[in-house]
Amino acid sequence: MSGLGGLNKTTGGIVIAAVQSQLLSVKTPEELAKATQHVCALVRQTKTAYPHTDLILFPEYCIHGLSMAIDDSIMCTLDGPEIAAFKKVCKEQSVWGVFSIMEKNELGNPWNSGITINDKGEIVDYYRKMHPWIPVEPWYPGNRGVSVFEGPGGVQMSLIICHDGMFPEMAREAAYKGAEVLLRTAGYTSPIKQSWEITNRSNAFCNLMFTVSIALAGTDGTLRSMGQAMFVGPEGSILEQGDGTADGIFACEIQVDEVRKKRREWGVENNLYQFGHRGYVAVKGGAGDCPYTYMQDLMKGEYKQVEDADVGIKDGQVFGYAAPATEFVSEMKQ
């Protein structure tokens, strides 16, 4: 099922490599430049070790580390030297790459952004993290929604980042928009290991899709990230799994036709379809209403859980951030 861990590729398959890149301490422009070159070297190393690789997935914070610094001097732009280096190495190695940057934002705090570059060195997808890991992370919440793009081999893909994957709505949105492979990048540390596996597997099974997930690994002298690369098939089975090795590379062949057949031919547990066609055995076409109060309230801007008034932490002051004064601005079409 995995092509001997990505060493082989057969007709209709693509090989994805997930790199558990070293957690680095990055606080200066010089350290940012050094981290960028480290990631580029890992692209070359991956293609040498796994020549059939079509796409290389790097973790969230792969060049910024976990300092959560918002110093403008180490924030990136889409036309900056970091993205230029990633474009160059992808073209040089004829491989797709998914990279993480903390990006300057004129609206307020920086974005936590994921950039997908094709084998010609072109940006094909640009995603802003929807759910920063609050109250720890200071990033402005993503305002472009979940995107789906055509990856290598014509495979439909979507990228989400770290905490995004803890919300089942994120994976469902990606699948609903056609994603056959859900990519998830993270900087998580070891306490999240169990929920990481649970959500990677459930996101795959509940949407009949592949999930490919990767976190940073190693230590920066203070924090220690967990690694734990994971490839999960559409029935929720783990196909390949990493460990805690810093700069460890794990690969897997994915046969996306498995997703396409299941979504079209399955009856039992074809949940992506059945979610919007409740009880089609009993009623013609199934019920297509929205009986979910939280969805209705979100649409009205009135989301309020039962315990809302009792929630004790509602901003980042517990982690030393000032109470925010910035309003949210969305780029989504209303």
Active site residues: 60, 129, 162
CA angle 66, 70, 73 (to 5 degrees): 110
CA distance 300 to 288: 20
In which residue are the tokens 């203070």 written?
222
Place of tokens 């609206």: 107
Which of these, 173, 328, 250, lies nearest to 7 by C-alpha position?
Answer: 250
User: How far is the CA of 122 from the CAs of 17, 41, 104, 115, 119, in angstroms?
Assistant: 19, 19, 20, 10, 7
Strands 224-226 and 217-219: antiparallel
- The DSSP annotation for 210-246 comes to EEEEEE-EEESSS-EEE---EEE-TTS-EEEE--S-T
Element at 157 (helix H, strand E): strand 156-161
Number of other residues whose CB lies within 10 A of the CB of residue 253? 24
What are the structure tokens assigned to 77, written together?
A: 């732009």
Q: Are the C-beta atoms of residues 146 and 156 closer than 8 Å to each other?
A: no
DSSP 8-class letter at 275: T
| Distance in angstroms (rounded) separating the CA atoms of residues 148 and 132 | 20
Burial of residue 45 (number of CB atoms within 10 Å: 0-12, 13-18, 19+)? middle
